[in-house]
Amino acid sequence: MSSQDKEAQEDELLALASIYDEDEFKRADSAQGGETRICLELPQNFKIFVRGSPTECLQNSGYEYTICFLPPLVLNFELPPDYPSVSPPVFTLSSKWLSPTQLTALCKHLDNLWEENRDCVVLFAWMQFLKEETLAYLNITSPYELKLCHRENGQSRTSVFPLNAELDGCGAAGAATGQEEILDERAVQDVESLSSLIGEILDFDQAQQKKCFNSKMFLCSICFSEKLGSECMYFMKCRHIYCKSCLKDYFEIQIRDGQVHCLSCPEPKCSSVATPGQVKELVGEELFARYDRLLLQSSLDLMADVVYCPRPCCQTPVMQEPGCTMGICSSCNYAFCTLCKMSYHGVSPCKVTAVHSLEKRMDLRNEYQEADEATKIFLEQCYGKGGIRKALEELESKEWLEKNSRACPHCGIRVQKRDGCNKMICTGCRQYFCWLCMGCLSWAKPYGHFRDKSSPCFKRLY
């Protein structure tokens, strides 16, 4: 190695180390070489497309994903002793999402760049070309279809294509020419299967987006403080951003109150809900266990085919068969009627079915309240004391709620106003709203509604 070559190599490697960070450039410990990882700059709303299985009825069916980042191209290189005066760098170029044909085209262009710049260092020019011109050079546009191409029977041959033609994942543009070209041994598609490729692309995209988010500053809409993204969290659906400290307090209050379905975005009228993973990241282990238990309980309550064992010591969820009124507890083996919750009575008529509708409950209540003692005893024998008592209690509760409370405009939970101002907060979803007009109020500035001259509630806070 001449002193001039050695000095040029050292200067080039030092320059690359100063230009790129450790994730992009890593110098080899034992030789004059290293590895560069080149992430391409994708257009906005770039999409990847994967066709469905060939066995499917719709041959053109498939899946489309919008991404911001693709896994990097990896350029491994070693500098010969006579580089750059005589020989070019020895290299391999690998990628997970480019086919061997496309990588071969890139390798050839790197060779051409060397020929155009003989006697000069060329690594920076190679890296700039790969980073800035790969998509245009290979005519890659959105949506880009992912394909996996294998080298059959150990032979590195594929159809040749003109470099200015549009390339597909396997070089199909050249199939019509009937020519063949040897794939470059330096071109490596580093992936096992199409399904693993999709997973790796989506995982890498998510990790890079999180990395970018963590390094930026954001204004929390609750405490109005600017904080790093690593100290913030955003809701997946709406992308509204808040600091973790504010969301932690908000989530903990909701979970302690049992409102696990109301961990929604604090922005007024926003329906985005926190994921269980986000909740687990912010609250403690004990609170998350309560959240998980209540979430399961409320989900089961919403299922029409799930009832609970009526025994107070059991309360195990029981799946109800369609059209069947018998439930059998899997824990205590108690067979019960899913309507009256008593022991299963077979084909005998259920006493509760006659008081299911609101109209019938009202008629039964009126008849029972106006009846004499003998008629009351007769009604109790017909419908059961429990059925009559339940009908009376439900109607009284409904009438009281309609008279003394109003429904939250965000979640519908009934809220009672005892005293104080007309700015209300829902005990269920924590939404601020006006008691007069029943409109949702800003989470950050709830009193602005009563200061707005155009508002019907102007100066009507009290």
Residues with catalytic roles: 421
Crossing angle for the helix pair 100-116 and 123-137, to the nearest 10 degrees: 130
Residue with tokens 């003692």: 373
